A and B are shown apart, each in its own frame.
Chain A
Amino acid sequence: MASEVQAFDLLLAVLLLWLAWRALASADLFKAVVQYIVFGLLLALAWIRLGAPDVALAEAAIGAGLAGALLLDTLARIGRAGVRDEARPLRLTRRRAGVALAVVGLAAALVAVLLALPPAMPGLSAEAMAQLERSGVSNPVTATLLNYRAHDTLLEIGVLLLAVLGVWVLDAEPRLDQAEAPAPLHWLVRVLLPLAVVVGGYLLWVGAHAPGGAFQGGALLAAGGVLLHLARPFALGSGWLVRLAAVGGFAVFLLVGLAMLLLGGGFLHFPPGQAGTWILLIETAAMLSIALMLVVLFVGRSRGAG
């Protein structure tokens, strides 16, 4: 990561802003969603440029990939009529003027804050690196997610679980009327699904010492699942096994944390020697749960094939 601004950065910056505006202002929502997906991929590039490969992986897989798939699926279900919006959807009207003014004011204040910042600041990196050996992993981002700030991650998995619960509460949706999936899709699934499983597992394993981790691995597994559903739709329902798989990651996380408490250390307090093993255990359970939950968010409660 070079710390100098290069021509590439200027281009990327302009593209990001332009694509975001197009995505928000396009009258045709299909175009808007596609532009948003491309925006997401460019955002992943920006993360790489800013030295955040873990985030880039997560953004590409979850932010652009799965979110994009969900958006497109929704567009397909709301049909032609719902997709077309008025010609200039963000046109400044009297009603919107107040919001626009406030937003511009906020932006100006933020720019002023940015310009007033000193060129370098300690942040938390020194501390994070210093404690890295005790954390059980050598990737500082994984150390932060699964050790230093594990409480955040536990709750975050809870958020995903709540989204799944919400989707389950909403009534089952009818299956989309669609033609038999085209042959290339079946071929693609045959190739990509095993690849997704292998790469997902690899990302989990390698996350301990290189960019990767449970979320990225889980998202990749989920991508494989979504592909499978597109080629050969299936229904997951909300039976006991599915519920167990969905809550498994959260449960393992909570129980390991409790075990640490009962063994005398403290809630989510991993003894330095064993930390790596516990983290791997939690991450494996979390990856499988996350993958399932993301697939459930896509598949919903659609009545199955046939």
Chain B
Amino acid sequence: MSLALLYGLVGVGLVAMGLYAALAARHLLRRLLGFNVLGAGVFMLFIAHATRAVDAAGRPDPVPHALVITGIVVAVSATALALALLRRLHARHGRPTLPEDREG
């Protein structure tokens, strides 16, 4: 098994877990964590693949690296905004869940 395949599989696992939590969880913070894990999985797929696309000197493909850095910044920016919204929602309603997620 190559490095790319092993970490690629980890990436798939993270995507699956993250997507499930982001859609199915009730607590908003948990859903946000799910989104972040989903992102980590997608990034991992990207970077694991970069080790297959090496140049003559054996260095991995730099483009996925640059794109993932972009992705990390975007994800953290969005997370920060979501957390600010979450704090405001909690301050107003007292519970960090959306109305449709509150019933059993």
Contact = CB atoms under 8 A, between A and B. Distances in A.
A200 to B, nearest CB: 16
Interface stretch (A56-64, A180-188, A277-285): A56-64
A154 to B, nearest CB: 11
B6 A3 contact: no
A133 B8 CA distance: 32
A271 interface: no
B68 A67 contact: no
A124 B63 contact: yes
What interface size band does chain B fall in? 35 or more
A263 interface: no
B8 A114 contact: yes
Interface string A244-255: 000000000000
A122 B78 CA distance: 33
B53 A125 contact: yes
B44 A24 contact: no
A213 B60 CA distance: 18
B16 interface: yes
B36 A36 contact: yes
Contacts of A62: 72-73, 76
Contact of B88 (A10, A104, A170): A170
A205 to B, nearest CB: 18
B63 to A, nearest CB: 4
Chain A interface extent, by class: 35 or more
A75 interface: yes
Contacts of B27: 29, 85, 89
A1 B19 contact: no
A166 B63 CA distance: 30
A217 interface: no
Contact of B53 (A46, A121, A148, A297): A121
A29 B96 CA distance: 12
Contacts of A298: 80
Interface of B: 1-3, 5-10, 12-21, 23-27, 29-30, 33-34, 36-37, 40, 43-45, 47-57, 59-70, 72-81, 83-88, 90-91, 94-96
27 contacts: A3-B51, A9-B7, A16-B14, A17-B17, A20-B13, A20-B18, A21-B17, A24-B17, A24-B33, A33-B29, A36-B33, A51-B51, A55-B72, A71-B29, A71-B83, A78-B86, A82-B95, A90-B21, A100-B20, A111-B9, A114-B8, A115-B5, A126-B55, A148-B63, A215-B69, A215-B73, A297-B77
